[in-house]
Each structure stands twice: as C-alpha cells, then as structure tokens.
Structure 1
Amino acid sequence: MTQTNTKPKVWVLGNGQLGAMLTHAGEPLAIEVHAVNIMTPTDEILPLAPHDIITAEREQWPESALSLQLSSHPHFVNGPVFSRLADRFSQKSLLEQLNVPTAPWVLVDDTTQVATLYQDYGPRVLMKRRTGGYDGKGQHWLKQAEAGDIPHDWRNLAIAEQAINFDEEISLVGVRTRAGECVFYPLTLNLHQDGILMASIAPLTRLNHLQTQAETMLSAIIHELDYVGVMAMECFRVGDKLLVNELAPRVHNSGHWTQAGTHMDQFQLHLRALCGVTIPQPQVNFQCVMVNLIAIEHDPRWLSLPNAELYWYNKEVRPGRKVGHLNLSVPNMTVFENSITALQAWMPAQYQAPLAWILAELTLK
C-alpha cells in the first residue's frame, strides 16, 4: 500500500457486531472504517473515493441504491465470492471441484425422490436451504422412521446431505494477502446448542495433529477463489478426518477468541490484508475460551471476573439472538476455574451444559 498522509478508508456492508469490531480494529492501524447500515431503506449516497476499499460483514444483503453503490465499487474486495459461498449449492460444488472433503450431498430438484435420498444417504437426511440459513435456521430433517418427506416449497431451493456422526466440531480461521500468502490461527474447538455456537476453545494441544490437514483444505479454497482477507472454515471431525461443513467469507464468531488470546485478532488481520499492511504470524498469548451471550440480559458481574473481556453488542434481547460474547483467558487454571464457577452461579439453565463442557475440556489430563 502506498504511504500517504491520508488514512486508508474501508467501508463495510453491514453495521452489526462484526462491522463494529472491524471499526474498532482499524483505530490502532490508522485505518478509517465505516460500517454501513444496509438493512434500512434509504436514498443516501456515500462519499466513496476511487481508492476506498469495500468489504462485507455478511454474505447476503438486500438490494438498494446504497448496497449497489458499495457492491459495484471497483475496490469491492472478493465481490464474486460472497454470492458464490452464500449459496450452499455453489459452495458444495466448489468443494467437490477441489476434492475438499465434505458430507455427501445432492441438489433437491423437481426429480428428487425422498426414497432415493434414504437409499443413498441413510435413514436420516439433513436438508438445508440454499441461502439464508444460519444458527440452525433453514434446516429440515428427513427421518425415514417418521415417514419424512420433502417440503413442497423446498425443491430447487435446498440441498440434502448425509447426516454425519461426527466426534466434534472444529473451525479454522485464516487470512490470505493480496500477494497470495496465507496465515492461520490454531484450530478452534466449538460447541453448538440448537444450531447456535455457544462456546469456543483455542488453542488445544490435542488438535495440533489436525492443523496441517485443515490448513491444506482452506488454502486450496482461498487460492482457487483468489480471496483476500479472513475466511472461516467450519468442520466436522470424524476420527482423524475433517469434513467441511460451512465456509464463511468474512470474520467469524468462532474467531472471537483471538481478541483476548492473540496479539493480533481476526479483525485486524482482515483489515491488514485488505489494505496491504504486513501480516506476521499472530502470536498466541493465552489459551482462551469464548462464550456467546445468547438472548441473555446484561449482567454487570461479568465485568468483575479478572480474566474476562466483555463485548456487549447493545442489541435488544430476543430469543436466539446473539447480544454479546465473553472472552476468558486462561492465565492459570485456578483463575479460570473460579471464573467458570461464578458464571455457573450467575447464568441461566441453558448455559450449564456449555459451561460444564468448557470446564471438562480444559481440565482433561
């Protein structure tokens, strides 16, 4: 990036929590980041300059004069990638093309027979809407024992895939520069509840032997797409084999631990890649646990924990909605266990299983 007296300017399609955290990450780098509300109709026209850079915090957005202005800018980085990965059909087709392992799947079209799905994939088949599904939404289970059938309005709008009896869910967050260099964080172990990410742990020594396999898979994907910036790859672990579940062409929830656990978080990494700033290998300072705050009221006691960093999104609390996250560093097990014990006393019933899972993972001998 040519050095001038003008701060680089990055515009973000979307002003949710990811856009807010990108804005914050730009400040120490003297990168001016503007997260734009594209969900509310407006006639506003932005003062975009020819050399401004455009990115997105989401894979899809409503079409409007504002979103068209941003997405048609010549420096909208990764423009074609968003729609390609937002559609599960084209995303799965890409994985198939690259021989990157994923669950066996098929497009559900007008000719698809449910009996054939059961024959090919077993008595439980998971249907996913091609676009729009997240946090467990946009999914429908076909179960042979219940005489399940394809919903009438899902044909040509969904894929069907084999149910995977996975051992656990892990993700890899990495970045690719404009020069094609790749840098990765350690693998992250994730726990989902009702399709929503509840907690992440990284790094974990027992996952180290899978790091090269995961990096090889994600490298193939981002090089093929000529992608620039941070991408997340969510995987199922089946024994010592990884299967890609989903790709996210952006900063990702399972990478939030990097804010407390490393010297350079995923948000700064993304901005560095977009703006051509040097990217050294991020150093892990602490093992870290991220706890998503889902449909829960703000509790000021969280701020009393000596190893906790709170990110509160200032959103209205609604069922199933992410309203914040806690990053808990692990300077030593005594401090960490005391914090988890406190959270167990303070947090509602739906958090007891995730907190117990965290404690079990970090106290494994």
Structure 2
Amino acid sequence: MPNTPISIANFYSVNHSKHPVKTIGILGGGQLGLMLAQSALPLGIRCVFLEDAPNCPARLLGKVYSTEQFDEFAKACDTYTLEFENTPLGSAKVLEQTVGLFPPAHALFIAQDRLNEKNLFNELKINTVPFLAVGTFDELETACDKLGLPLVLKTTRGGYDGKGQFVIRSENDIKTAWDELGKACETAPLIAEGFINFNREVSIIAVRSKQGEIRYYPLVENVHHNGILAKTEAPAPNVDNLTEQAQNNIKKLLEHLNYVGVLTLELFVTDNGLIANEIAPRVHNSGHWSIEGAVCSQFENHMRAVAGLPLGDTCIVKPSVMLNIIGEYPNISDVLALDGVHYHGYDKEERHGRKIAHITVMPSDSEKLTETVEKVVGLLPNKLGLL
C-alpha cells in the first residue's frame, strides 16, 4: 500500500477517536488563547477562536470566527472555554446551554462586576477591603467620608490592567475623579474601595476538574507598574504561613461556583493576613512561568479540565521569574544567549503599554536566578517596574 500523506483532519479522526474532546472553541483570540492552543496540541486537541481582530495572536494556531459567524462557531466544537473575562455574557450563556462552557457563565457574571465579586467574597467570608457602591456624586462624597482618604474609585465593569481606576488622595481629587469616571454610572454603579497598607501582592492559581478534584499552584509574588503586571516570582518567598489561607479562599470560590478549569485569585499581603483583590476566571498572566517552571502548566491543566481529562502535577520544577515585555521588543538573540531564559512572543505590533511578549528566567543553577534576571532586565527597552 503506498504511503499517503494524512491530513490534519484525518489524523484527528483516525488516531484520536478515543479522545472525549477533539476540538475546543475559545472565546477570545489573544495571547492567552494562543498559549492555550499551544498546550492543547500535544493532547491531540485543536482549537478555534471567536475573535473580531483579524490579526489576533491565536490565528497562528487555529481558525478564527468573527462574532458575525457566531452560529458557525457554535457548531464547530465539542466544548468551549474562554480567555478573557470581558467576553459577552450572552454568547457565553448560549454556548453553556447547548454544547457546554467551562468555566460556567455564572463565574463570568461574577468576575465582570467588581460589586458582584466583592459581595461574593463577603458571602464566602473571604477578607476584602471595605467598599461601597457609588451611583451619584453625592454618594461618592459619602463614600469618601465613610471610608476615609485615600481611596480607589473604580468602574465595576470593563476595567483591566489599571484601566477604569482613580486614586482619590484628597478632597480636591473628588470632583476630578467623578468627571473622569462618573459617566460609567449610566450603565452600572462605581465602586469605592478603602485604601489598605499592604506589604506585597501575590496570587494563587488553582485548577478544578469536572469530577471536583482541585490542584493548587504555589503562591507567587507580583510586581505591577501603572496597574500592569511587570514581574512574577515563583514561588513567592516567605509565604508558608499564608499558603493555607490562600488555598482555602480559592477552594471556597471553586466549589461555590461549581467551577471547571483554571481560576486565579489576586491577593494583598497585610500584617493581618491576606486580603482578596479580584478573581480572573481564566488562565492568568501571573501563571505564565508555569510553561517551563511547573510540571504541568496552567494552560495544559486548563485544557485537561475543559476536555474532561485527568489533571496534571502543579509542582514547581525549579524557582523562576517571569518578566512581561511591554511596548517594545528586545533583541531576541541577546536574550536567548543567556542560560535558562525562555522567550514567548505574541506576534503583536509594538505599542505603548501593550503586553507583547514574556520571558521566563529559570537558569540551570537556581542560585544565579537573581543575577540572570538582572541581565535580562538590562536588555529590555522598557524596564518600568523591573528595577
């Protein structure tokens, strides 16, 4: 019999017939979708995407449907997931009620509104900063009196990477903050959050299977600049006394939401323990280190959970540091010339304030981690938040 080339479609149908899921549809086509698709390929799973940006990063690894092609997208896959919490809730509910969406649409509903999120934290007895809903200028003045200054005024919907926020430090800022954010009250109230003194920012990522099994990644420490994540250290140093509280908090959320997939909980470290900031119902920037730094990455574990496959080991291979490339690319040859440096480009055009790539530093000699990170930072055009 002659050797006949096997098409990708035939490869899946012939050799992967025992897979419960062959194609996963992803709502969104950004770099998270790209990395999810990369992790799915070795599992014998392909991905397609719902995304209106034709040059999105995920186009490199699968077909991209526009929102005008939603019906076609909805028929193309065995199950669905998402890569961005601002995914339209209506689309998510349609998919959940037909083929299946993981995580559930209710988790999206909670994460899309900061008031819903904070109220759920309170319901589950997860510590938060004091907060108040703000729908009018008078209510903002009342919130400033009750919570005290400084405080942070935020939109309840749509903000990410520091967008939709204003720090009110004095009475002179109140009117300015309202002028900048008050228009958002036409569709949803704002939220005023009391300021807290925190030592550092950490996050915990966990994954829950369809059978209810939960596995936790270690706490990591995050450094932000202007609301954008600049650096993640994995594992976070000196958090042995905080790990149990962090795991208990995210476990409450996963079980209450009947969640399937990867969930991220961002936290502040204070003298009195952990304060919850927000959740992300998806794989997260603070987990990018796990591609090389964990036995099974957050991306692979998310796809395993969505596909109904057994979860992978979340243990760290060795300590690592993830650096975001923001705005401008470095010389990739210079970066890769360093030992233990892993580069991930997103095929995005350079733009101020835009995440366009990340680097994970994980040298063979862990004692040289700090030294290697300093060398990498020295090669980056944009060092904001890294020095």
By the TM > 0.5 criterion, same fold? yes
Residue 114 of structure 1: how far off its partner (Å) = 3.5
Asked if 1:58 corresponds to 2:91, the answer is no
Shift of 1:297: 2.1
- Give the counterpart letter for 2:281 in structure 1: P
RMSD: 2.4
Deviation track 1:218-243 (CA, whole Å, cap 9, x = no partner) reads 11111111111000000011025111
Do structure 1's residue 153 and structure 2's residue 183 form an aligned pair? yes
Deviations 1:58-80 (A, max 9, x none): 1123589x878656533122122
Distance 1:111 1:340 in 2: 46
1:246 is aligned to 2:299: no
Work out whether residues 325 and 356 of structure 2, in 8 Å CA contact, stay in contact via their aligned partners in 1. yes
- CA-to-partner distance for each residue in 1:305-362, whole Å, 9 max, x for gaps? 22111110011111110001000114325643443343243223634x51x4xxxxxx
Distance in 2 of aligned mates of 1:100 and 1:27: 37
Match of 1:116 in 2: 142
Distance 1:187 1:168 in 2: 12
Are residues 331 and 145 of structure 1, via their aligned partners in 2, closer, same or farther at CA, if it must alter by over 3 Å? farther
- Cα–Cα, structure 1 residues 72 and 239, in superposed 2: closer, same or farther, change >3 Å? same
Question: Deviations 1:105-133 (Å, cap 9, x if unpaired)?
Answer: 11112385334222221111111101111
User: Is 2:139 the counterpart of 1:106?
Assistant: no
TM-score by length of 1: 0.88
TM-fit CA distance, 1:158: 1.1
Query: In 1, distance between residues paired with 2:369 and 2:139?
Result: 52
Conserved 8 A contact 1:231-1:250: yes
Identity %: 30
- Correspondence for 2:151 among 105, 120, 125: 125
Aligned to 1:142: 168
Compute the TM-score of the two structures, normalised by the length of structure 2.
0.84
Q: In structure 2, what is the equivalent of residue 290 of structure 1?
A: 322
Aligned to 2:11: none
1:11-53 Cα distance to aligned partner (Å, 9 max, x none):
1001100000000000111122223324565533436559711
- Give the alignment of 1:239-318 within 5 angstroms: 239-300=271-332, 301-318=334-351
Aligned: 1:97 with 2:133: no
Residue 224 in 1 paired to residue 249 in 2? no
Query: Aligned partners of 1:54 and 1:74: how far apart in 2?
Result: 8
Aligned pair partner of 1:31 in 42, 45, 49? 45
Match of 1:198 in 2: 230
Q: Which whole-Å CA distance do the structure 2 matches of 1:42 and 1:248 have between them?
A: 23
In structure 1, what is the Cα distance between the partners aligned to 2:248 and 2:255? Answer: 11
Local SS of the residue matching 2:203: strand
Distance in 2 (CA, whole Å) between partners of 1:5 and 1:108 is 53
Q: Pick from 21, 24, 28 the counterpart of residue 10 of structure 1.
A: 24
Measure, in 2, the Cα distance between the counterparts of 1:237 and 1:338: 26
- Of 101, 122, 132, the match for 1:76: 101
Q: Is the 8 A contact 2:329 2:380 kept in 1?
A: no
Q: In the comparison of the two structures, how many residue pairs are matched?
A: 351
In structure 2, relative to structure 1, the CA distance for the partners of 1:119 and 1:79 (3 Å cut) is same
Report matched runs for 1:306-345 at 5 Å. 306-333=339-366, 335-345=368-378
Contact in 1 for aligned 2:327/2:382 (Cα 8 Å): no
* Counterpart Cα distance in 2 of 1:47 and 1:54: 10
Q: Is the Cα–Cα contact under 8 Å of residues 92 and 101 in structure 2 kept in the other structure?
A: no
Mark the CA change 1:179 to 1:108 in structure 2 (over 3 Å): closer, same or farther: same
Residues 69 and 216 (structure 1), Cα distance of their counterparts in 2 relative to 1, 3 Å cut:
closer
* Residues 13, 70 of structure 1: 8 Å contact kept: no
Given candidates 196, 211, 226, the residue that maps to 1:164 is 196
- Please, which runs of 5 or more residues in structure 2 have no aligned partner? 1-15, 55-65
Q: Which shows bigger deviation, 96-105 or 37-46?
A: 37-46
Distance 1:277 1:298, change over 3 A: same
Q: Measure the CA separation in 2 of the matches of 1:322 and 1:166.
A: 26
Distance change >3 Å, CA 111–CA 199, structure 1 → 2: closer
